[in-house]
Structure 1
Amino acid sequence: MTRLQDLHHPSAGTTLMSEWLTGTAERSRAAVDALLHEWAAPQAPSGRLAQHVFLSLDGTGLFFYAQWTSDDDHLAWARARRTEVVSRVDALVPGIERPGLIRTRLVRSVVHDEKRPAGLFAVRTVAAGDVETATAPAPGLLAAHLHATPDGERTIVVTEWADVTSQEAAAGGDAAVKRYTHAHSLFDDHTGRRP
């Protein structure tokens, strides 16, 4: 499976994360298919560097990890085009819940194992002072990627795990942790497609 370090675009000035709650695996897949059609449109946003989508382990939602040159570039696109794009997806998959967008900046990655493939991506929010616990070595933890929010009070931690069992053992039943598998990535050609 893909590793997050292979997905991260080095020119990213901002990383946007959002969740879409679809309710079922079938609706999640339909939403992904609709988005792939939208992403393939000939007029890609000039500030978008990469867009990644992950499927929740239970199939009931999607997690988006988008990299843009800056927040300003994303906001300009959102004002001009977001409603149009989202409404076309909603026409095909009505009733998607979107809890909101989180703007972050990748501040640090701690890689424990570069070679093993990731079987699971887990996402959770921690207080800024609790990041050391989130990056501590654990059986099956391959890497932890720390994304600071603009207010500096929270850190979104995206961890890569060898498998679900390892992550569940380390989480100890923490219901706040959300689990995903990688579904699709797009690197925009106008910024230099990564291999």
Structure 2
Amino acid sequence: MTRFLDLVHPAAGTALLSEWRTGTAERSRTAVDALMDEWAAAETPSGRLAQHVFLSTDGANLLFYAQWTSDADHLAWARARRAEVVSRVDTLVPGIERPGLARTRLHHSVVHDAERPAGVFVVSTVAAGDVEIPVVPAPGLLAAHTHLTPHGERAIVVAEWSDTASHEATTADGVSFKQYTLYHSLVDDRL
């Protein structure tokens, strides 16, 4: 499986994370396929560098990780085109819940094992003050990539694990995290 740092575009000025709650794997795949068709048919926005879509291991959720040259470039596209693109997806898959978009910048990465493939990605949100706490190695934890929101109020951590079992073995009882696998990537090779 692809490692997270392989997805990071060096020219990215902003990284956007957004979850779509679809309810089922079939609805998730239908939504992504429709979105990919929209992106393939449309002119590539000047500031979009890459768009990666992760499917939750239970199939009920999608996580979008988009990289743009700047927030301004993304906002210009969103004002002009987002509603049109999303409305077509919503026609095919009505009732998708979208709890919001997080604008971030990759702050730092801690890589414990650069050789093994990542079997699962786990995304969590932490207080911004906790990002400087060292990421303690754990069996199966390959890397952690911390993204800060623009005003530093929170951090989103994308952790790479060798497999689901390793992650679950280190998770406290009663704590639940969504686990994702990479489903689709679109990278603009113009830049």
Specify if TM > 0.5: yes
1:121 aligns to what? 121
| Alignment partners' CA distance in 1, 2:51 and 2:146 | 18
Question: How far is 1:133 from its partner?
Answer: 4.9
1:18 aligns to what? 18
Greater shift, 70-79 or 150-159, is seen at: 150-159
2:146 aligns to what? 146
Question: How far is 1:150 from its partner?
Answer: 1.3
2:54 aligns to what? 54
Root-mean-square deviation (Å):
1.3
- 1:52-80: per-residue Cα shift (whole Å, max 9, x none)? 00001111010000000000000000000
* 1:130 to 2:126 alignment: no
Gaps in structure 2 of 5+ consecutive residues: none
* Equivalent residues, number: 191
Query: What TM-score results when the alignment is normalised by the length of structure 2?
Result: 0.96
| Alignment partners' CA distance in 2, 1:142 and 1:8 | 16
1:6 aligns to what? 6
Are the counterparts in 2 of residues 134 and 144 from structure 1 also a CA contact under 8 Å?
Answer: no
Gaps in structure 1 of 5+ consecutive residues: none
Query: What TM-score results when the alignment is normalised by the length of structure 1?
Result: 0.94
- SS of equivalent to 1:190: coil
Pairing 1:34-73 to 2, within 5 Å after superposition: 34-73=34-73
Question: How far is 1:169 from its partner?
Answer: 1.4
Question: How far is 1:129 from its partner?
Answer: 2.0
| Alignment partners' CA distance in 2, 1:174 and 1:131 | 23
